[in-house]
């Protein structure tokens, strides 16, 4: 059986990770992998997480399964984090399942969509996170794209986006990035979210909101504003969330898949299908990550500590955006990079070509994805001059 298999290409980002690890250049910079890094280039364990883990170590009493939906206290707290005190929660219209990371949430959502409508097409932004397309296609769904990022002007193609979404058939699903768009960093503003929400209601497509970076843009509440506007407007929607970034729990694989139905009875029926999907994929989620998040959000002291640490990470990223823009200008780079500090989250397209990207890697050991997407958090006060000089050189 195995002899019929053909080798598949390595994921470009994973390949970039391997090449970076093997590089012996002491000045090497990794701007490819999408994880938060501190000034020393580490992905730290948050103090709030350390305290929550210590509490769990002392108080855990069983290693039994935690059920198909996972930690129900965690699910409730994630709903509140995402929706605040939204009327959908007050009306008991929301159901949530804990998942293995945001990727697990998206795969659960994909299978759920397939059971709702076997002919549904999922519409994603151009560009989008590369794994989005693979996840939906793996569930047997058709994937189409709608205009989003303006590569030439480093902004949004909002008019083109709306024109396309007006043509989406009723019953299809439209994936929207809640904040910190991956990979462009360009987000919808509040007025644009309102237009999209009204369009979803009028056209009849179902919004699927991917919120992997809540708190990395403006604030926890501001970053969920678009999601909440949608929930104000449509009767049904899906939400896939992740705790990898804002809690720094990348390797614990903790996320959630939430659905909002038009009434509590439909929510119960939908939840039974959602949990059936969970059962068929991984049966029960792991406990550790959800317990950490639940412990933090159950304690006012730990919640405040987490807020402080999240604010620090967000401030560092926003400061780096300004630093990159000003440093490149100081090096005499003629190309306009002012768009960088107008974006949100960890990612941005530099807008340089493949030859220049290759030179950065070969001559300077600066690792960037082939699309020119960079992880801003990989820059630091200690390497900014080296980075800026390298960019200035390859742009000559």
Active site residues: 129, 210, 245
Question: How far apart are the C-alpha atoms of 183 and 135, rounded to whole Å?
Answer: 17
**Residues, the chain, total?**
396
CA angle 229, 207, 173 (to 5 degrees): 165
144: nearest Cα among 199, 185, 205: 205
- Residues 48 and 306 sit within 8 Å (Cβ to Cβ): yes
Question: How far apart are the C-alpha atoms of 269 and 236, rounded to whole Å?
Answer: 13
Show Cβ contacts of residue 127 under 8 Å, excluding neighbours closer than 6 positions: 148, 149, 183, 184, 371
Residue 189, number of CB atoms within 10 A of its CB: 11
- Residues 32 and 369 sit within 8 Å (Cβ to Cβ): yes
Q: Report helix, strand or coil for 214.
A: coil
Beta strands in 113-244 (DSSP E): 121-126, 142-147, 149-150, 155-156, 173-177, 206-211, 237-242
316: nearest Cα among 268, 384, 369, 371: 384
Question: How far apart are the C-alpha atoms of 108 and 114, rounded to whole Å?
Answer: 10
Strand partners, 348: 374
Question: How far apart are the C-alpha atoms of 102 and 180, rounded to whole Å?
Answer: 15
Residue indicated by tokens 């509040």 = 190
- Residues 258 and 230 sit within 8 Å (Cβ to Cβ): no
239: nearest Cα among 32, 67, 95, 385: 95
Per-residue CA distances from 89 to 76, 85, 163, 261 (Å): 10, 7, 32, 10
């Amino acid at each position: 059986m195995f002899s019929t298999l053909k080798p598949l290409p390595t994921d470009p980002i994973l390949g970039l990770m391997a090449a970076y690890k093997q590089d012996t250049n002491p000045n090497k910079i990794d701007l490819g992998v999408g994880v938060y890094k501190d000034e020393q280039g580490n992905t730290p364990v948050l103090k709030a997480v350390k305290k929550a883990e210590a509490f769990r170590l002392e108080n855990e009493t069983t290693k039994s399964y935690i059920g198909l939906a996972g930690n129900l206290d965690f699910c409730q707290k994630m709903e509140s984090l995402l929706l605040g005190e939204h009327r959908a929660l007050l009306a008991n219209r929301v159901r949530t399942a804990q998942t293995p990371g945001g990727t697990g949430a998206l795969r659960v959502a994909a299978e759920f969509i397939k059971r709702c409508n076997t002919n549904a097409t999922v519409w994603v932004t151009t560009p989008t996170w590369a794994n989005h397309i693979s996840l939906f296609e793996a569930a047997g769904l058709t994937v189409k794209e709608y205009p989003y990022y303006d590569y030439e002007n480093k902004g949004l193609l909002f008019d083109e986006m709306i024109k396309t979404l007006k043509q989406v058939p009723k019953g299809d699903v439209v994936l929207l990035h809640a904040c910190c768009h991956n990979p462009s960093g360009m987000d919808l503003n509040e007025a644009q979210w309102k237009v999209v929400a009204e369009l979803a209601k009028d056209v009849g497509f179902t919004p699927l909101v991917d919120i992997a970076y809540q708190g990395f843009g403006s604030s926890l509440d501001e970053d969920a504003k678009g999601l909440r506007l949608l929930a104000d407007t449509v009767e049904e929607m899906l939400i896939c969330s992740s705790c990898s970034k804002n809690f720094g729990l990348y390797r614990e694989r903790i996320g959630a898949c939430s659905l909002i139905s038009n009434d509590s009875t439909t929510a119960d029926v939908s939840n039974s299908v959602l949990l059936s999907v969970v059962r068929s994929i991984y049966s029960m989620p792991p406990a550790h990550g959800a317990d950490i998040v639940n412990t933090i959000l159950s304690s006012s002291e730990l919640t405040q500590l987490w807020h402080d640490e999240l604010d620090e990470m967000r401030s560092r990223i926003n400061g780096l955006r300004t630093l990159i823009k000003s440093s490149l200008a100081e090096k005499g780079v003629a190309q306009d990079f002012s768009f960088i500090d107008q974006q949100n989250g960890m990612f941005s397209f530099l807008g340089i070509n493949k030859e220049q990207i290759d030179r950065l890697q070969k001559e300077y050991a600066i690792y960037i994805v082939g699309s020119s997407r960079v992880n801003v958090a990989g820059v630091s006060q200690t390497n900014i001059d080296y980075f800026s000089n390298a960019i200035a050189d390859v742009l000559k």
